[in-house]
Structure 1
Amino acid sequence: MLAELHVELVAADRKVWTGEATIVVARTVSGDVGIMPGHQPLLSVLEFGPVTIRTADGPVVALVHGGFISFADNKLSILAEIAELAEEIDVERAERELEVAKADADAQAELKAAARLRVATGTY
């Protein structure tokens, strides 16, 4: 059996996911980070982007809108302002948001809508 770490993904309004994982990849202000069992303690600020949690049952992917990531004693806490699991994202709505952002020439909104769409469709 592979070594695992305990993961809790929490948004401001709810507990999004909790369980055991072999690796978690997240985007921080310092760049992408991969956390595996036995990793050095870590505290970092999360960027807007996908978080991939690899479990024995397959990957769990979420889109986080900022927050913090903390690892110590083989426990990883992801505290997000907003977190959406890939299966919770409405693909049609994300496509409409992307089209509106493009039409409005809103680069920031376009990046966020495109990221939501990539996470929802598994093309991140």
Structure 2
Amino acid sequence: MNTFLLEIVTPDRSAYSSEVNGVSVRGIEGDLGILPGHIPFITPLQVAPVRIKIGNEYTSIAVSGGFVEVRKDKVVILAESAEIETDIDIERAVAAKERAERRIVAVKSNQADIDFKRAELSLKKAMNRIEVHSKR
């Protein structure tokens, strides 16, 4: 079965490195499925799960934005943050989601001077982590 090397790197660490059969990411234009031999490209990523296929098994990683670079024999994801589904602290993710939702409500009701885009991004990140954790 054909494989390629997938590396997911954050500013702090190498979050993932393995030979895989396929990977799905969400770029700014939509979902992308990458298989061995894919045409090379680079695109920005949205805050969304990265789905990895090895044989008949799937793993998800919560990625917070960044870029994907597809090369001839290697795919590199440069992400702000990346958490494997088994490493996600679900209580912390739920608490972050609730905080972000409160901030958004406060901004909309003009009760607080909080950056709406920042609160919205925090909410997307928390919901991404919760989604990845619940699909394990």
Shorter chain as denominator, the TM-score bin is: 0.7 to 0.9
Identity fraction in percent? 34
Question: Which residue is equivalent to 1:65?
Answer: 64
More strand by share: 1
Quote the Cα distance in structure 2 between the aligned partners of 1:68 and 1:27. Answer: 10
In the alignment, is residue 29 of structure 1 matched against residue 28 of structure 2?
yes
95-104 or 3-12, larger mean C-alpha shift: 95-104
2:4–2:75: 8 Å Cα contact kept in structure 1? yes
- The residue correspondences of 1:49-88 to structure 2 (distance < 5 A) are 49-56=48-55, 58-88=57-87
Where structure 1 has 5 or more consecutive residues not aligned to the other structure, the ranges are none
Question: Which residue is equivalent to 1:102?
Answer: 101
TM-score by length of 2: 0.80
Instruction: Give RMSD over aligned pairs.
Output: 1.8
Where structure 2 has 5 or more consecutive residues not aligned to the other structure, the ranges are 106-115
Question: Which residue is equivalent to 2:9?
Answer: 10
Per-residue deviation at 1:96?
1.8
Letter in 1 for 2:57: G
Per-residue deviation at 1:53?
0.9
- Kindly name which structure, 1 or 2, has the bigger radius of gyration based on alpha carbons: 2
Quote the Cα distance in structure 2 between the aligned partners of 1:98 and 1:10. Answer: 24
Where do 4+ consecutive residues of structure 1 move more than 6 Å?
none
Per-residue deviation at 1:75?
0.7
Quote the Cα distance in structure 2 between the aligned partners of 1:56 and 1:78. Answer: 21
